[in-house]
């Protein structure tokens, strides 16, 4: 959603409803105890805390993909890297 800057576009990309995406964002903001987006006049934009959260989310996703790749290597599904 942060990359789309639209709850509706994010919902479409995730095959979810817009209210479901909004709910998930609110849950995340509650969990982190901070706002991630500025919501003004029907538009949204990342605030500084949102930018930081996005950076961590990108790192987590990259690490998850790396873990998946390593596990496939170990199980012989992919050739081992040097």
Q: Which of the listed CATH numbers 1.10.1270.20, 1.10.1740.10, 2.70.210.12, 1.10.10.10 matches domain 7-74? A: 1.10.10.10
Domain residue limits, the chain:
7-74
DSSP 34-58: S--EEEETTEEEE-HHHHHHHHHHH
Which two three-digit tokens encode residue 9?
């576009």
The residue-averaged pLDDT of 71-76 equals 91
Q: Does pLDDT of 81 surpass 90?
A: no
On the question of pLDDT at 42 being above 80, the answer is no
Average pLDDT over residues 50-69: 97
Quote the pTM value: 0.77
């Amino acid at each position: 959603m942060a990359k789309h800057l639209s709850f509706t576009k994010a919902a479409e990309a995730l095959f979810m409803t817009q209210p479901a995406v909004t709910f998930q964002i609110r849950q995340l903001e509650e969990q982190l105890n901070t706002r991630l987006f500025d919501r003004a006049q029907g538009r949204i934009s990342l605030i500084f805390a949102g930018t930081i959260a996005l950076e961590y989310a990108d790192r987590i996703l990259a690490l998850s993909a790396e873990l998946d790749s390593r596990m496939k290597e170990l199980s012989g599904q992919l050739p081992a890297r040097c």
